[in-house]
Each structure stands twice: as C-alpha cells, then as structure tokens.
A and B are shown apart, each in its own frame.
Chain A
Amino acid sequence: MFALVKKLLIFLLIVIIPNLLIAEERKFNLGKIATKTEIAGWDIDVRPDGLGAPIGSGSAIIGEEVYAEQCASCHGDFGEGLDRWPELVGGEDSLDTHDPVKTTGSYWPYASTMYDYIYRAMPFGVAQSLTHDETYQVVAYLLYMNEIIEEDFILNDKNIGKIKMPNVEGFLMPDPRPDIANISGNPCMKNCNSPTKIIGKARDIDVTPEEEKS
C-alpha cells in the first residue's frame, strides 16, 4: 500500500506537475518539445569560441587529398580560384589597395567560420556530405596554405576556437551610420553647388546585357 502511494507521488512529482507547469507557462500551447536527437541533427553551427564544434580532427597533410578531390575543381589546386569561383588563398596586404583580394587567409576573421561554412554548404551542390574529420582536414589545409598553421598541426574541436586569423582585428563595430553630413532634413533647393559635368557613362562601358544581340 505504502509502495503504491509512493509510486503515485513520484509519478505526480516527475510527470504530471512539471507538465502542468510547462503548460501554464506556454501561452498558446502550440508546437512540441524538441528532443536532444532532433536538435543534434540540425544544430550544426560553430561559433568563434569553438562552441558547437563537433568532435573530430584533421591535418593539412590528409587535407590536401580531400581538398584535391572535393574542392580543387572549382577553387583550383592551390586555392587560386578557377573562372569566377572564389580564390581561397593569398591576398595578404591587399585590402587597402585598389583591388582587394578577400580570401580565408587575408579577410576571414575566424577559423570557426571556415568550418561552419564548409560543413554546411560545401562542396557546392553536395552540402553536408563531408564527414567532420574531412571538414577539419580541409580547414587545416586552407589554414596551412595561408601560412596560418604548420602542415602537421592537428586541428580539432578543442583548438579551432583558438586559431588566430591574420585579419581578426580588421573589422569595425558598431555601425557608424548615418555617416553622411546631412541629417537635418533640409537640403539645398535652389542654385546648389552640385557638379554637373558628365565624367562617365554606362553606355560607354558596354557591359549591360543585351538579350538579343544580333
């Protein structure tokens, strides 16, 4: 008898009461609680501090093979980019020039972003097909090609948040806009000092698509 009461009490405590509490807090009682397994399958993002990095590891040595097989057909053997596909390597000291080259090495501030993006979106058209180890290998290879880590460095979930990228200090926050002069709402209306000399014409550059050029 006592055992039955105890069981009932435990049932009340563990199952009924928490559910009642939850139901009370939820305003509309819509949707369902997500299970750990469901979340694990979709929660693939990796943060700069390494939070979310899945267990795994890889070095540039093996990464070179994975890269050659999975990435080089678009990005080139050395990350130089083919046709209009983006280059991934080089571009250092180019950001303040007339033709900046923004690569993982010259521009990307965090190695975590490389992991996150490559795993979620690459290879283009075969998203989320690399294993976690393969992804670490490819990231390691790109970091090595950009002279950020050594060839035998083992990149893993513990150290990806500690890789220091060359351009990590290259970004400015917060947004300084409105950065323009006139936020008074009263611009000049008559005889304004405005240049009216034509210095360029799109027609002369001639890159506008003509759909039926004969």
Chain B
Amino acid sequence: MVKNIQCLEKCLFLKLLGFALGKNKNKKIRLNRRQLLVGTASLSAIALTSKISNSQETNPNNLPPNVPEWTSELGVGVDANPYGMPSEFENNVIRRNVEWLTASTESSVNFTPIQDLEGIVTPNGLCFERHHGGVSVINPRDYRLMINGLVDREMIFTLDDLKRFPQTNKFYFLECAANGGMEWKGSQLNGCQYTFGMVHNVQYTGVKLSDLILETGLKSKAKWVLAEGSDSSGMTRSIPIEKILDDCVIAWAMNGEALRPEQGYPARLVVPGWEGNMWVKWLRRLEFGDMPYMTREETSKYTDLLPDGKARMFTWVMDAKSVVTSPSPEKSILHKGIHQLRGLAWSGRGKIKRVDVSLDGGKNWQTAKLHDPVMSKSLARFTLPFEWNGQELLVQSRAIDETNYVQPTINELQKLRGVNSIYHNNSIATWKVNKDGTVDNVRLG
C-alpha cells in the first residue's frame, strides 16, 4: 500500500511535468530507460521521460484482483481506424534524424528504430528515409517510365503496363552506404538507431528488369544503365548491365501495399545487396549506354576517400554486417537474470551463414541462433540467451556470410582505408553494458 501511494505521488508529479512539457505536442518525447533505471532519478531525467513514463508506470487499479477499465467498457468499433496505426503506447518507436548532420531536411536522412523491432520485416512507416530533394508526390496516372538509349525500341510504360508483366516478390535489405559513416573516427553517436539505422528490410513486388527489356530489346553495345529519378534532385546512378539483368527489379509495392511516398511511390528501382543510393526512387527513366555516366552521386559522393588522397569509385556491394539491437544504448538491461540478446545481420554478397557474439570485447565468442527464414541479401535475425548479474560487459556481434567473409573490426578497416572514406563502414560495434544496466557505444583500442 505504501508503495502504491508513492507511485501515485510520483505519477501525479510526472503528470504535472508531462502537462508542462506536453504543450508542444509536435515534440516527441522518448523513453530514456537509462535515466529511468537509475534509482534516484534526477529532475531532468524525469522531465525527459514524462510522457512515456505515464504508460510505463503501473496502475494498480488495472492489476489483479481488480477489473481494468478496458474490460468493463466497450472499445472503439471497426469504423474507428480504416487504416490501423500502432498502439499509442508505442509512440517512441519512430524514425529519428540528426539535425546537425545536414543543411536541410529535404536533403537529409532519418534512421530506422531497429532497436525496437523484432523479426526481419521493417514496417513500412519505419523504413529510414534518405532524400536529396524531398519527397515527390506523384499521381500514379501521371507516372511514366521511359526506356531509351541502346535498345531496339525506345519505349514508355505506364504503371498499369508494369503491373501486367510477370512479377517477383522477394525480401531484400536496403542499406545506405553511409550507414555508420559518423563512426569512422570514433564512437560518436550514442544510439543503435543512429549508428546502424540506415537499413530496412521489406518484401518487394515488382517486375524484373530482365523481363522488361524483353519488350524493348537490347543492343549489343549496351553495357551500362543510367537510372534516373523524377524527384527534385533528379537522382541518377550508373549500373552495369550484368547487375541489371541479374536481379534488379522495378518495384511498386513493399510489404504487400503500394510503396510509401517516401520510398519512391509509385515505382522505384531495387538493386539487391548494393548501396541504397542506387535504388533510385520515383524512377522515371532508364537509359542504356556503352559507358558509365559519372553522375554527381558516383563521383563527388559515394566514392571512398583513402589516406593517400585517392578515392575508390563504384564500390557498390554492401559487405557483411551485424549489430546487437538489444542490449544497446537505447535498450538498457533492466533486471538481473536471464535475457535474450537480439540482433540483425545482413550481407550484400548472399546469405548470412553464422553470427558470433562476444560479451568480453572480442576475446571469446559464441555462436548465436539464426532464425528462419535466412534469405539472400535480406536481414537475418539472431538471438542468444545470456545471464546478467550486474557485471560490466563489452557486447559485440560478428557476421559471417556464405562467401565466408568475416565482418571486420574498425581497427582493421581504419588500417586499410583511413578514417575519411565516409561510406562502407561495416565494422563490429561495441556496446558497453555498465554496472547499472545502462549501455554505451564505445571504441576499443
């Protein structure tokens, strides 16, 4: 009873604070378990967690033997939510951006909250966004795909035309080449979301380009394809013809529904296993040519600068990578005893074969459980049970793909490529679990 009164007082206090903060409803308030966990929560810590804390605090009136109000009252009807949204208690599971990273939000990025997701499917509304000229809004009736250049017939297709071709339905991960790019010089952002969240994994429905070109024909000199978006950046990338004919897709649906506007509605290019920038959204044109086009995005950007001042160009494949999503900086350990470590692994070269986990900074490793399905160029889920008794841990994961590529350490990548290459940082991250259960992104050396 005493406990309950304390809680009521605390809840009231939180409610008042929440009211004060809640004036600005546009601002999302994030649960910060780090601060919650620290027993003697400071005033600022409580302020930080106010809104969500309301849902985190237990209301004894809802617990046995009492009958909660959702039992004694009717809920809303079937006409209340024609398009369903997540529970209001999950409103901290959102994409987040880093304001100081870019000059404008139209040419910027936000991050998938992978630390809050389970399994391998990324919900459509949580897939990270990277735009170079904002989100285009296109009426599908006004959508046209032009194919020109070294083809037998230069043609134009409507969206309905595309949907009449034989279709493919496959899961693929999409990772931005700059995922983890802020971590080259050292641990900079204290979050799983901010350091690994430029990745998502959905099922794409579309037409294979190898089927589409049966309609246009292909001249023998055609070696490269320029993919062009119709957004305000006119995004363009050159893709070699071998990749185009191997597994590239023009997709109009993700996870069973039409592409989201921010993912290229009504149609985008899918380039399995290769860097996300090439997956041109709002795709309007494919031009076949006999040499690469050397667009801004494959010369000035998405080239990897080395210490000697030379830069690697056309580094398309996303190498094998993994991350422990819990525990992680956003996912403190709240209790002593048994826990299920969980994480994600993926490789642009094929299937994930194995994931190892270390709790002591890479000295000793054990193999985690990989969960079905494990698909080529798709996220794979791994878990590993572990006991926590308040000791410090240095948590790492290491992916091995079917080509036997072993995910490297940051020290190895730095030795090979320096610290200024921005892109393709697929190194092992280290989460330090502190004695109070909070977790830090740290660099070992």
Whether A200 pairs with B186 at a CB distance below 8 angstroms is yes
- Interface locus among A5-13, A26-34, A61-69, A145-153: A26-34
Interface string of A202-214 (1 = CB under 8 A from B): 1101011111111
Query: Which residues of chain B are near A132, meaning CB under 8 Å?
Result: none
Residues 293-311 of B contacting A (Cβ, < 8 Å)? 293-296, 299-300, 303, 305-311
B254 to chain A, nearest CB (A): 23
A191 to B437, CA, bound (A): 25
Query: Which residues of chain A are near B400, meaning CB under 8 Å?
Result: 185, 187
Q: Which residue of B lies closest to A171 (CB)?
A: B313
Residues 11-42 of A contacting B (Cβ, < 8 Å)? 22, 25-34, 38-39, 42
B190 on the A face (CB < 8 A) = yes
A29 to chain B, nearest CB (A): 8
Query: Which residues of chain B are near A125, meaning CB under 8 Å?
Result: 106, 133, 232
- Interface locus among B115-123, B259-267, B338-346, B359-367: B359-367
Interface centre among A96, A194, A199 (most CB of B within 10 A): A194
A109 on the B face (CB < 8 A) = yes
B96 on the A face (CB < 8 A) = yes
Whether B234 pairs with A212 at a CB distance below 8 angstroms is no
Whether A127 pairs with B313 at a CB distance below 8 angstroms is no
Interface string of B274-294 (1 = CB under 8 A from A): 000000000011010101011
Choice from A42, A124, A181, A207 contacting B107 with Cβ under 8 Å: A124
Q: Which residue of A lies closest to B305 (CB)?
A: A100
Query: Which residues of chain A are near B148, meaning CB under 8 Å?
Result: 34, 39, 43
Whether B442 pairs with A201 at a CB distance below 8 angstroms is yes
A175 to B379, CA, bound (A): 24
Choice from A109, A170, A210 contacting B309 with Cβ under 8 Å: A170
Q: Which residue of B lies closest to A193 (CB)?
A: B363
Query: Which residues of chain A are near B413, meaning CB under 8 Å?
Result: 180
Residues 49-71 of A contacting B (Cβ, < 8 Å)? 49
Main secondary structure of the interface of A (DSSP, over half): loop
B217 on the A face (CB < 8 A) = yes
Given contacts A185-B404, A207-B100, contact A45 B29 (CB under 8 A): no
Choice from A127, A202, A214 contacting B47 with Cβ under 8 Å: A214
Residues 130-185 of B contacting A (Cβ, < 8 Å)? 132-133, 146-148, 152-158, 161, 164-165
Chain A interface category by residue count? 35 or more
Whether A31 pairs with B157 at a CB distance below 8 angstroms is yes
Whether B443 pairs with A191 at a CB distance below 8 angstroms is no
B408 on the A face (CB < 8 A) = yes
Whether A121 pairs with B96 at a CB distance below 8 angstroms is no
Whether B295 pairs with A184 at a CB distance below 8 angstroms is no
Choice from B97, B99, B303 contacting A171 with Cβ under 8 Å: B303
Given contacts A175-B315, A202-B188, A209-B99, contact A196 B234 (CB under 8 A): no
A190 to chain B, nearest CB (A): 6
A20 to chain B, nearest CB (A): 14
A121 to B47, CA, bound (A): 43
Query: Which residues of chain B are near A98, meaning CB under 8 Å?
Result: 420
Query: Which residues of chain B are near A48, meaning CB under 8 Å?
Result: 291, 293-294
Q: Which residue of B lies closest to A99 (CB)?
A: B420
Given contacts A180-B406, A205-B186, contact A214 B44 (CB under 8 A): yes
Query: Which residues of chain A are near B294, meaning CB under 8 Å?
Result: 47-48, 109-110, 112-113
A209 to B47, CA, bound (A): 16
B93 on the A face (CB < 8 A) = no
Q: Which residue of B lies closest to A179 (CB)?
A: B416
Whether A208 pairs with B233 at a CB distance below 8 angstroms is no
Interface string of B87-105 (1 = CB under 8 A from A): 0000000001111101110
Given contacts A196-B363, A199-B443, contact A30 B48 (CB under 8 A): no
Whether A208 pairs with B236 at a CB distance below 8 angstroms is no
A179 to B47, CA, bound (A): 48
A190 to B309, CA, bound (A): 38
Whether B295 pairs with A113 at a CB distance below 8 angstroms is yes
Whether A184 pairs with B406 at a CB distance below 8 angstroms is yes
Query: Which residues of chain B are near A78, meaning CB under 8 Å?
Result: none
Whether A210 pairs with B303 at a CB distance below 8 angstroms is no
Whether A28 pairs with B215 at a CB distance below 8 angstroms is yes
B25 on the A face (CB < 8 A) = no
B411 on the A face (CB < 8 A) = yes
Query: Which residues of chain A are near B96, meaning CB under 8 Å?
Result: 209, 211
A121 to B235, CA, bound (A): 8
Q: Which residue of A lies closest to B398 (CB)?
A: A187
Choice from B43, B312, B394, B404 contacting A175 with Cβ under 8 Å: B312
B444 on the A face (CB < 8 A) = yes
Whether A180 pairs with B100 at a CB distance below 8 angstroms is no
Whether A95 pairs with B412 at a CB distance below 8 angstroms is no
B228 on the A face (CB < 8 A) = yes
Whether A189 pairs with B356 at a CB distance below 8 angstroms is yes
Whether B233 pairs with A127 at a CB distance below 8 angstroms is yes
Whether B442 pairs with A180 at a CB distance below 8 angstroms is no
Choice from A25, A43, A121 contacting B287 with Cβ under 8 Å: A43
Choice from A95, A175, A179 contacting B316 with Cβ under 8 Å: A175
Interface string of A130-169 (1 = CB under 8 A from B): 0000000000000000000000000000000000000000
Given A171-B312, A189-B356, 15 more contacts at CB 8 Å? Answer: A31-B215, A39-B146, A45-B228, A45-B236, A45-B287, A112-B294, A128-B234, A170-B309, A180-B416, A183-B403, A201-B442, A208-B191, A211-B96, A212-B29, A212-B50
